Amino acid sequence: MPQQLKQQNEEKQGTEEGISLKGTFTAVMLLGAFIIVSWVGVWALFLSR
């Protein structure tokens, strides 16, 4: 019985981490895209002057 509860807890933790990491990955990708777009914009401004 205690092993069954331990396995259920481990499964729940793994599922929660997966969902959390998907959101983190999306946020990091969006932030990275914003930084790249900002740098390209500044570079284009530099070239146009």
Give me the pLDDT at residue 20, please.
Answer: 76
- Identify the residue whose tokens are 């990275």: 32
Closest CA to 21 of 13, 10, 32: 13
User: Cα(44)–Cα(8) distance, rounded to whole angstroms?
Assistant: 54
Q: Considering the entire predicted model, what is its pTM?
A: 0.57
Name which residue leads in pLDDT, 29 or 2. 29
User: Cα(27)–Cα(25) distance, rounded to whole angstroms?
Assistant: 5
pLDDT per position as a tens digit, 6-47: 666 666 655 555 567 889 999 999 999 999 999 999 999 999
Residue 1 has pLDDT above 80, yes or no: no
Give me the pLDDT at residue 24, please.
Answer: 92
